[in-house]
Structure formats: C-alpha cells, structure tokens
Copies of this chain bind each other. A is one copy, B any other.
Amino acid sequence: MAVRVLGVDPGLTRCGVGLVEGSPGRPCKLVHYEVVRSEPDLDLSLRLLNLDRRLAELVTEFRPESVAVERVFSQHNVRTVMGTAQAGAVAILAAARAGLPVQMYTPSEVKAAVSGNGQADKAQVTAMVTRLLRLEVAPKPADAADALALAICHVWRGGARERISAALRRTR
C-alpha cells in the first residue's frame, strides 16, 4: 500500500520540503518539492509565521499521510542550531495540528537509507535521490534534495516497521 510522505529539512532561511509517494521496497514517486525561504533580516515572528502558513498550505494541497523531519543535533554554530530547532518546531507543530504522525530521523539515518552510507556527502545524497525518484534533473538546492531523502527514508523505514509488526503478529 502506497503512502504519501512529507519530508522537511528545517531551516529558517531555507527550509527544504519534499513530498514522495511509495511503498517499502519499491521505487518512490516524486510528488512535489520546494524550498520555503525567508529573509534573515525579517522579524523572527514573521519568519516562523511565513513557514507555518506555507507548510499548512502544502498539507492542504498535497494531503500527506505522515511527516518526516530531520532531527537536529548539536552543530558547530549555536546560532544555526537555534534557527534549525525553531523551524523544526514549526514543522512538527504544523504536522501535529493537521493530525499527522511525525517521525524524526538523524542525518546519518537518512543518508544510510538512501545511499547505504551514513557518512555520504551532499552531492551523493542528491545523486541518489535523483536516481531513486528517476528524475531527469537533480533537485536543487541541496535542502530540497535532503527533504526528499527524508521522505524516501520514511517510506522505506515505515515499511520495515510494518513488516516487523506483521511478522510479530504472525508469530504470536
């Protein structure tokens, strides 16, 4: 059974958004991708509001069944971490408000899911996303490719979970 997933690579200045549809073990289909941008000199409340509104529109337009958001960890730059955490909170809240389940994945989990290598670089992730979705042109910028990778990761991982649950039910 195919599932439609919204992946979000959170960021204040550039927030990657990617929607794919698919089922575990099969190729995913691209539905949509974009980058929600906001100017760094804009008021923080307006930046968060802008992102919140766009995500609500995308949920209404594309009707995903679940949402995958990149889990933010400590990074080099504290300022960047803060913005990422704030944008991530807006994405998680937008999903929760729409009644959608949210799953978080670390960058390594996503990289491993799409490329088999948890240490893959950005170019490798973009190349794999392009290949897995059978696109003629690579999705740009990297934030959009990352969001699509998150969505693909969730389709496949969700599938693994479903198979495990099914296997457990059979053995009981």
Write the residues of chain A forming the contact surface with B, with a CB cutoff of 8 angstroms.
43-46, 48-49, 52, 72-74, 78, 81-82, 85-90, 92-93, 95-97, 101-102, 104
Contact = CB atoms under 8 A, between A and B. Distances in A.
A46 B45 CA distance: 22
A87 B86 CA distance: 8
Contacts of A48: 89, 92-93, 96
Contact of A44 (B73, B81, B92): B92
A101 B44 CA distance: 11
Contacts of A49: 93, 96-97
A25 B44 CA distance: 29
Closest 7 CB pairs of A and B: A86-B89, A85-B85, A89-B89, A45-B96, A49-B96, A74-B78, A45-B102
